[in-house]
Structure 1
């Protein structure tokens, strides 16, 4: 009897044990499992930071060598009787009088000049497309002083004829920005200047996103005229700081959520916000700040704001008074994207000088010539020539080999793509322009333009003179 009783108790214990193991997870285990379950991609900004990925593929190309040219490499070097060897869309070798391997096609460039492809760091092609009509006015979302949630690429019309005319001017890479009506205008996008049916087919693979900000007269004029804030420069500054405070709080909430998930704790994710996603990307150093700002004093204030919230400004745009604080900009490694000849359109432009970029260069800063205009983008080389001449007239000794950086290497740096383009160096993308004259001459025209080693423009061959579908017109009569 005793043995039977002990056996019965043992069986009962086993039964209870079995029930305990098959009952299911404990509340703590359930919470851990729930916390570990990933959010849908559309709700977690960290899962798919680029929801509209590049589909760019280089055009077909074959190995070739440009021979006999005078080359301005974008590295500060000038080469006579230069050879540029290209293979698989990349620059394989650059030097004077190099031997061309057997079987490689040669391009005779004797008496001509060769440079890297030009880069326009400030363009509105596609978002203010040609023809300039209200239907194409898609660059300024002026419905709120801060609109970081909008992305310029969602306004880009790839058929804008301006892309083709920019390529004729030697532009191979271009940053498309929102306009400057808002304190924070939204994301910009870096494009390869190739014909494409979609903007994704133009997106520069791996290029970081940019954030357009604007200070000065534009935002205070836009919103002050509506009886809304900001209506003053102090209102502008308050608006930036409020936006960054909110963004910092957003970053903290996501960091706290992910930390809890990592510890296996139950946690509710923050509500996703598209605008704060962009600002958070800036605070994390993933998105570059391109800041429209004319006056020297305002640039200094914007630098202080960036330091207050722990981000950095990549470039000031327009920046006609940059020469007044050239040392400060160089010390903070901030580029200056400006013009030579634009002056007086509004009061904050009145202290513009043609030698602005040359003075930035002399202070060991990063000077850039950009367009902000569908016509000027076709003549970036001439605008750089004006700045160079003005600098020399002011007594600055600047060579053409150095000045070519203002439209090649320095823009590439400001867009975060200098490791891929902007100079004629082995391993870089074969973005190359052949000019019929010195590119700093008013007579200079492009003869050939290569993008990733593919011929995309040839002045003498109609097969390489692409036109937008829009240029070709509409079939039939009465089409509306």
Structure 2
């Protein structure tokens, strides 16, 4: 057992504790509340003057898919050969030996959704993993989280460069529709004919058609966000909206709530392409004022993963409430990823993923004192 005592505990649940304790047993949270004396604890951490919170969660990144300082050999996130590649799986490319996993821990990030990039119209399957381990199989929280798809500049740029469709937004939407129609037909035929011809692409999309997993839609510009929603509604699919750079321009449509989640970012970035011209840290605060729940992402390696709390802190500086900013990198992404029964808040029965800071996590001078994942002190 591990006992953390005398701490300011920010639970992301119903109540915080100014002088609290947290007890960990068998990889789970056994107790969180007012200070507790536990004589049987093997390890006691006196966290007086420190800030204890759930391990942070990045709902959209590419950790382990583009390895740090490696170049082509470590770039395994985009298969720019076929714009429809749903059969690709993140877990077959994630390298947990990438040093960015270590840096993620030093930043207090304990769980991430990681997967393919946005070169393809349909790019493959995202996974949710913990950030500690040396074999990805042992780090998995959810092997098949979502199906990555992309709208806007990236697919048209990547394929026009090789003289192949899509080179327009029309073609991206058309390819998406045709693929979903064929996948839907494939799923229907499978039910009727047990000997139906196997198709690996449509087999991978079956979970999308059956609404077992959502589309994870890359879309920065307002019209691309609305195109993603239009197609999801047309085929009655679940969808999460990723990046959403211009979300603050179309809040009245996002308030309709068809999407299963909104993940904004990376905002700590330059305007590297036209669809980022309205990039601003004010987006989060505007969404909050409109009552729209969201998470904040780094899109690592675009923004190094350890700067996730910096991104949330800058959003707070530009109008987002501090409490909401903390929720946007803990419980909100957990809800969007469908793993809030396990992580995202410090509550009894949840995974013991805990971060102890020596100061407030939004203070740039603060450092991580301890990181605990699955009840094990890993930093």
Q: 1:208 to 1:185 in 2, by over 3 A?
A: closer
Deviation at 1:355, TM superposition (A): 1.6
Residue range with higher mean Cα deviation, 401-410 or 338-347: 338-347
More helix, by proportion: 1
Choose which of 223, 230, 233 in structure 2 pairs with 1:304: 230
In structure 1, distance between residues paired with 2:62 and 2:180 = 26
In structure 2, the partner of 1:347 is 274
Alpha-carbon contact 1:340-1:356 (below 8 Å) kept: no
| Residue 334 in structure 1 maps to residue 222 in structure 2 | no
Aligned partners of 1:73 and 1:208: how far apart in 2? Answer: 28
Aligned to 2:109: 171
Using the TM superposition, give the Cα deviation of residue 201 of structure 1 relative to its aligned residue in structure 2, in angstroms. 2.0
Which deviates further from its counterpart, 100-109 or 272-281? 100-109
Map of 1:398-477 to 2, 5 A cutoff?
Answer: 398=321, 400-457=322-379
- 1:233 aligns to 2:169 (yes or no): yes
What is the distance in 2 between the residues matched to 1:225 and 1:106?
58
What displacement does 1:88 show? Answer: 1.2
> Does residue 217 of structure 1 match 2:153?
yes
* C-alpha contact 1:338 1:357 (8 A) present in aligned 2: no
SS in 2 for 1:433: strand
1:77/1:402 contact within 8 Å kept: no
For residues 180 and 347 of structure 1, the distance between their equivalents in structure 2, rounded to whole angstroms, comes to 16
1:208 Cα offset (Å): 4.3
The residue correspondences of 1:115-130 to structure 2 (distance < 5 A) are 115-130=53-68
Question: Does the residue aligned with 1:84 lie in a helix, a strand or coil?
Answer: strand
Give the match for residue 37 of structure 2.
Answer: 100
Q: How far does residue 77 in structure 1 lie from its aligned partner after superposition?
A: 4.4
Specify the SS of the correspondent of 2:155.
Answer: helix
Matches within 5 A, 1:19-30: none
Q: 1:60: which partner in 2?
A: none
* Alignment TM-score, normalising by the size of structure 2: 0.94
1:142 positional shift: 0.6
Total equivalences in the alignment: 375
After superposition, residues 254-333 of structure 1 pair within 5 angstroms as: 254-257=190-193, 268-313=194-239, 315-330=240-255, 331-332=257-258, 333=260
Native 8 Å contact 2:263 2:297 kept in 1: no
Q: Deviations over 1:102-122 (max 9, x none)?
A: 322421111010110011122
Gaps of 5+ in 2: none
Aligned to 2:289: 362
Per the alignment, residue 469 of structure 1 pairs with none
Q: CA deviation at 1:405?
A: 0.9
Structure 2: distance between partners of 1:168 and 1:76: 27
Tell me if 1:91 matches 2:22. no
CA distance in 2, matches of 1:218, 1:251: 29
1: CA distance between counterparts of 2:113 and 2:37? Answer: 35
- Is the Cα–Cα contact under 8 Å of residues 340 and 383 in structure 1 kept in the other structure? yes
- Is the CA contact (8 Å cut-off) linking 1:72 and 1:401 kept in structure 2? no
CA contact (8 A) 2:125 2:144 kept: no
Larger strand share, 1 or 2? 2
Contact residue 88 and residue 125 of structure 2 kept, 8 A: yes
The structure number with the bigger radius of gyration is: 1
CA contact (8 A) 1:173 1:192 kept: yes
Distance 2:189 2:221 in 1: 36
Whether contact under 8 Å (2:65, 2:93) holds in the other structure is yes
Does the 8 Å CA contact 2:244/2:262 hold for their aligned counterparts? Answer: no
Q: Deviations over 1:411-466 (max 9, x none)?
A: 11122111110111111101000001111111111110000111010xxxxxxxxx
Q: Displacement of 1:407 after TM fit?
A: 0.7
Deviations 1:133-158 (A, max 9, x none): 21111110110111111112111122
TM score, norm. by length of structure 1: 0.75
